[in-house]
Structure 1
């Protein structure tokens, strides 16, 4: 809290014309700090903001993001202060995540979902992670004892996924596939749990998840829904999106975090069975 107050004070003193357009929150990933400067005025002063932020936090590098773009939700930004190499190892819940925040995103808001996986009894279970990224859900599942089939379409994220499995000593329990999860799903049979950690379009992947999960297995569907909807409406939306021949029983609906002024990120956990 003191560093935020110091940062705000320095902005007012040194950059009074843009201080109100610079957020007073940032993300700390290992020894790198990431700040979102989506406002054009703030972006124009990114190096000055980065200098102040580095002096306040003592970070090795400061990365400023201008936007998040594309299917892979890739960060668009640059190192604005400190070491030009922003690759770092972030530690969370005892898990080590190696990444370069100028090339891949890290969602701190999914912390409780990762904790839930890590504390689950997954010994001997088969888990299919359809959108593995750098291992956000794959690593806690593997550390909880699961055998994980992890699909990732982004080659940069996939390289970090392989490296992170080694870094955490679970490379023997994680099979990584670089490619579209819909193609990988064709080779997955009877998964006990399917993780669908994608947003803004997840429901269209449900037919592939249902084919990969065992009868009575569990899907964990992450998606964004209208803030004004309650949990019952969110559950119905997911159930109604199941493909023909499948029925679901909702086990839990969890609000993960706010996604935008109008949308919330939810995780819906449901047991899926084939219709008799």
Structure 2
């Protein structure tokens, strides 16, 4: 941490800002919010070529920073509506503007829908988020590899970025691989509930969404990902976070890896924990379940499985639990549900849920 602010800096404590590397911006904002010192009434602004000034109400106690400075100028307009009104937008146009967006590293990701003048919206979002340099309009995720459809609407147009949250760094290209901001709490949770030296199978690892926080917590993770681009980022991110010794990555189909008996764990062909982060992984196939059946067979008696599913509201929790129990019963095993919770809305009438269960 830097020294206390100088007397000149302290003259106006309501205009203090801390200077940090631009790459750390989102992590520092999150930490400042947790500490209760982030000042949402002012903008994050650039500070030199590689740094930003993050507005705070007082110098933070738990965050490292380069220096404390005073921000000068007018307080920022707090909402997108304020910015658009300043640009002369009508009430009807503002009603059609997006109501939410996410900052992922140096990129603002937003669903424009039918909003008018997306370039002006993009420029406004860049004004509001000084840590970002590109705004992308997000379309639907499609295809076997869950590939995104994005369009550059403002800024530099660089879709590659490094996103930081809860001490984990995710390198990615938002034009080629998906990243769900709404799963932030779930990524953090997996790093908290895993035990050190757990043997974990992450069946749909992507760029390391769950693999990285679990490996960072000390677990040994076999991470399986079929998408070649996501797999490259998975390898890169394991190195970036210093967990290559705890991550064994396979670019393969889960069924092939499971069929080989998980030789990555040597003499222990079963695992303590399995993560199934693919929404459709619980779908039945003929008389059985394409992914659930081999997953349960690979799970140590008393091991835990974390099943993600996009479930219609009326079937919330009931459907994934019934599928788990059905798949387990065919192998003479039982299901003890440990926890159920909603992650986020998935689409109209459909919710993303997670079921944690012990398989005896």
TM-score by length of 1: 0.89
Q: 1:76 is matched with which residue? A: 149
Q: 1:235 is matched with which residue? A: 321
Counterpart among 43, 48, 71 of residue 120 in structure 2: 48
Q: 1:215 is matched with which residue? A: 301
Work out whether 1:148 is the aligned partner of 2:221.
yes
- Per the TM alignment, residue 257 of structure 1 is displaced from its structure 2 partner at its CA by 1.7
- Per the TM alignment, residue 164 of structure 1 is displaced from its structure 2 partner at its CA by 0.6
**Equivalent runs, 1:31-42 vs 2, <5 Å:** 31-37=106-112, 39=113, 41-42=114-115
Distance 1:20 1:159, change over 3 A: same
Q: 2:347 is matched with which residue? A: 260
Counterpart among 175, 178, 193 of residue 120 in structure 1: 193
**Equivalent runs, 1:147-166 vs 2, <5 Å:** 147-166=220-239
- Per the TM alignment, residue 111 of structure 1 is displaced from its structure 2 partner at its CA by 2.2
Q: Give secondary structure in 1 for the equivalent of 2:347.
A: coil
Higher strand fraction (1 or 2): 1
* Distance (whole Å) between structure 1 residues aligned to residue 107 and residue 342 of structure 2: 28
Superposed CA deviations along residues 209-234 of structure 1, whole A, max 9, x for unmatched, are 11222222211111122223454565
- Per the TM alignment, residue 176 of structure 1 is displaced from its structure 2 partner at its CA by 0.7
- Per the TM alignment, residue 200 of structure 1 is displaced from its structure 2 partner at its CA by 3.1
Q: 2:257 is matched with which residue? A: 184
Contact 1:79 1:102 survives alignment (8 Å) = no
Contact 1:186 1:212 survives alignment (8 Å) = no
Superposed CA deviations along residues 136-178 of structure 1, whole A, max 9, x for unmatched, are 1000110111111000111111111111100100011101111
* Distance (whole Å) between structure 1 residues aligned to residue 228 and residue 308 of structure 2: 22
For CA contacts below 8 A with separation 6 or more, give which structure has more relative contact order. Answer: 1
Unaligned runs of at least 5 residues, structure 1: none
Farther off after superposition, 168-177 or 11-20: 11-20
Farther off after superposition, 165-174 or 207-216: 207-216
Distance 1:230 1:160, change over 3 A: closer
- Per the TM alignment, residue 115 of structure 1 is displaced from its structure 2 partner at its CA by 2.0
Work out whether 1:107 is the aligned partner of 2:194.
no
Q: 2:358 is matched with which residue? A: 271
Superposed CA deviations along residues 228-268 of structure 1, whole A, max 9, x for unmatched, are 34545652343234462133222222222221221111111
Counterpart among 168, 173, 195 of residue 275 in structure 2: 195
Distance 1:132 1:234, change over 3 A: closer
Superposed CA deviations along residues 101-122 of structure 1, whole A, max 9, x for unmatched, are 2221212222222222212352
Aligned residues: CA RMSD: 2.2
TM-score by length of 2: 0.69
Which of structures 1 and 2 has the bigger CA Rg?
2
Unaligned runs of at least 5 residues, structure 2: 1-39, 42-75, 263-268, 284-288
Contact 1:192 1:218 survives alignment (8 Å) = yes
Contact 2:205 2:225 survives alignment (8 Å) = yes
